[in-house]
A and B are shown apart, each in its own frame.
Chain A
Amino acid sequence: MNTQVTIAGVTLKNPVMTASGTFGSGMEYSRFVDLNRLGAVVTKGVANVPWPGNPTPRVAEVYGGMLNAIGLQNPGVDVMLERDIPFLKQFDTNIIVNVCGKTVEEYVEVVEKLGDESAVAMLEINVSCPNVKEGAIAFGQKADALYHITAELKKHARQPLMMKLSPNVTDIVEMAKAAEAAGADALSLINTLTGMKIDIYKRKFVLANKTGGMSGPAIKPVALRMVYQTARAVKIPVVGMGGIGSAEDAVEFLLAGATAVSIGAMNFVNPYVTEEVVKGIEDYMAQCGVEDINELIGAVE
C-alpha cells in the first residue's frame, strides 16, 4: 500500500499534516503523538520579530467549533530557527513553516532567513489571518494584492511556497488562480471563517478582538466545497483543511481534490487525532482495496 504523496517536489510519507496555529512547533503535542508518523508538521505563524498578539479572551467555543483571535503571537523567526527547527529536526517528518507579516518587506525578511535552513521543506504563507489588522488578511482578500505578494516572495524564497487562502472572499477560485499565476507552488485552504459571539447578559463581545476566526467540525462542509472548487481550477497541489477530525473527514478532502490535509482545532478535542487519522486512512485503504493513495485525489464523481 502506498500512502506517499508529493507536493511541490516535497514527498510526504502520508497526507496528514498539522494546521498552523493549532500545533505550536510540535513540542506540546509530541507528548501525545509520534511526530515521525506525520506527513508534515506545519508550525505556528512566525514573523520577523516577536509579536505579542491580541488581548484576552482570545478563544471562545461556538456550536460545533470555536473562535480564536490569538493575533499571531509568535516569538519571531530567530527563535524559530534557534529553538523550534532543531527540535523538529529530530523527527522524520517534513517541516513546513508558516510565515506572517504586516508588510511585504517583513514577509521577505522571514522568507530569506528561513531560506538558509535546509531542514525547512516548504513555506506556508499566511495571507489570510482574520485577526491581525494590518497586513496578513489585506494580502489575502484581493486577487491583485495576493498576486503581488506571491510574485514578490517567489523571488526571495529558496523553498516551495504554499499560499494559505482565506475563505472570507467572494470567489475562492479567483484568489487561487491569482496565486497560481504569480508562481505559487501549492495552495492550502481554508483559513478560519470570520465570526463573532456575544454574551447577552453582559451585552459584550466574548472575544476582546470582537471578531475571531471560526474553526472546527462546523466549518467542514464549507471547506470541502472550497477545496473541491479550487482543486478543479488550478494545476498546483491543494492542501485541504477545515474541521477535519477523523480519517473519514480526511478521505473526503482527498476525494474532493486535496493532495494532503491538515488537522487543526480537532487537536484540542483529541490530542491523539493526527496519528489516529494516519492509521484510519490506512485502514480505509485496506478495507476499500486502495493500493495507492494518489488514486483517491480528486476521485469524487
Chain B
Amino acid sequence: MEKRRKENGRVLSQKEIAPQIFDMWIGTGLAAQARPGQFIGVYPRDKSTLLPRPISICQADRERQALRIVYRVAGRGTEEFSHYKEGDEIAILGTLGNGFPLEAAEGKRVLLMGGGIGIPPLLAVAEALSGTLGEAGADIRTVLGYRDSGLFLKEDFRRYGAVYVAAEDGSVGIRGNVMDAVAAENLAADVIYACGPMPMLRAIKGYAAQQGIDAYISLEEHMACGVGACLGCVVKTKEINRHSHVNNARICTEGPVFEAKEVEI
C-alpha cells in the first residue's frame, strides 16, 4: 500500500492551455507512487474554502519527482490555484483512488475516451500503456470530446496513437460527442478507458454492454475527505459492496475507476 499523505508540493510551472483550463506541474515526492487514474486533493489557502479539491493526475514524472495536473477553473478553489506561480507552495493530499486496471489492455485494441475535463487522466493511461506493455502491448486510439475549438492535450495524445476529436459546437473535428466520433470513424475496440461527464459515461456504459466491450470509467462526485471516511462520494453498485454492505461504493477509495457494468449510473 502506498504511503498516503498530505504535504506541501511546489509549483514547477503553470500555464493556461485553453480558456479556463490550466496545466500545472507540481514538484512532490508523491510522484513516485502515482498510478494512472489516481487523483490528488488540492487544498486552497483561503480558509473559507476548506475542502481538498479532487483533481486527477494527468502525468507523473518519477525522475523529476513531479505530478502534472490539468484542471478547469470551476469555483473559488480552482480560481485560487490558477494564480499560483512557479515556486509557490501547494498543499496536496495523495495519492488517492484506485487507478485504471492497465493489465486489462494487454494485447488488446484500446479506446481511450475523454470528455472535457475528464481528458487529463487518460494521458497517464496512454503513456503507461505504450511504455510498460511495449510494442507487443496495446493498440491505442484516443477519442477526445470538447465543447468547442478550445482543444487541450490533443497533441500530447498524438504521441501514443491516432487521435479523433469531437466538438459539441462542430467547430473542429466531428460535430457532437465522443460517441458520435466512435460511430463516424467506426472505431472498434476490446477495452475502453473513459473519463468525462456523466451523460457521456452513461452512453459508454450502454455501448460497451451492447458491444460486449470491457469498459472502465472514472467517476466524479462531490467529495469531502477523499480517503473513504465520510461516505460523501458514493456511487450505486450492482452488487452489495464489500465495505459498505449496501449497494454503494466510495468513489474516492474503491474508485474513481469502476468497471462500467458494476455501477448504476
Contact = CB atoms under 8 A, between A and B. Distances in A.
Interface of A: 21-24, 28-29, 31-32, 44, 50-53, 56-61, 63-66, 68, 70, 73, 75-76, 79, 206, 216-217, 265-272
B34 interface: no
Nearest to B51: A61
Interface in B1-24: 3-6
Interface string B224-237: 11111111111100
B244 interface: yes
Contact of B50 (A23, A28, A216): A216
Contact of A66 (B50, B227, B229): B50
Contacts of A29: 227, 229
B225 A61 contact: no
A136 B244 CA distance: 21
Report whether over half of chain B's contact residues are helix, strand or loop; otherwise say mixed. Answer: loop
Contacts of A44: 231
Given A50-B244, A268-B224, A68 B4 contact: no
Nearest to B243: A75
Query: Which of B43, B227, B228 has the most A CB atoms < 10 Å from its CB?
Result: B227
Contacts of A28: 225, 227-229, 253
Contacts of B52: 268-269
B6 A58 contact: no
Query: Which of A31, A64, A206, A271 has the most B CB atoms < 10 Å from its CB?
Result: A271
Interface in B194-232: 221-232
Contacts, number: 109
A29 B225 CA distance: 10
Interface of B: 3-6, 43, 47-52, 93, 221-235, 243-248, 253
Nearest to A271: B6
B152 to A, nearest CB: 23
A206 B222 CA distance: 10
Contact of B93 (A68, A266, A271): A271
A58 B221 CA distance: 9
B252 to A, nearest CB: 10
A260 B243 CA distance: 31
A66 B235 CA distance: 20
Nearest to A64: B48
B246 A50 contact: yes
A52 B222 contact: no
B244 to A, nearest CB: 6
Contact of B51 (A53, A70, A76, A268): A268
B50 A64 contact: yes
Contact of B245 (A75, A265, A268, A269): A75
Contact of A22 (B230, B243, B246): B230
Contacts of A268: 50-52, 224-226, 230
Given A53-B231, A76-B245, A217-B50, A32 B222 contact: no
A58 B246 contact: no
Contacts of A76: 245
A260 B235 CA distance: 36
B47 to A, nearest CB: 7
B234 A66 contact: no
A73 B237 CA distance: 14
Contacts of B47: 64, 217
Query: Which of A21, A64, A268 has the most B CB atoms < 10 Å from its CB?
Result: A268
A70 B222 CA distance: 12
Nearest to B252: A28
A75 B244 contact: yes
30 contacts: A21-B230, A22-B225, A24-B228, A28-B225, A28-B227, A28-B229, A31-B4, A31-B227, A32-B4, A50-B244, A52-B246, A52-B247, A53-B248, A56-B233, A56-B234, A57-B222, A58-B222, A59-B224, A59-B232, A66-B224, A68-B224, A73-B244, A75-B245, A75-B246, A79-B245, A217-B47, A265-B50, A267-B225, A270-B6, A272-B6
Given A24-B231, A73-B248, A267-B229, 12 more contacts: A23-B229, A29-B227, A44-B231, A56-B234, A58-B222, A59-B224, A75-B244, A76-B245, A79-B245, A265-B224, A269-B52, A271-B227
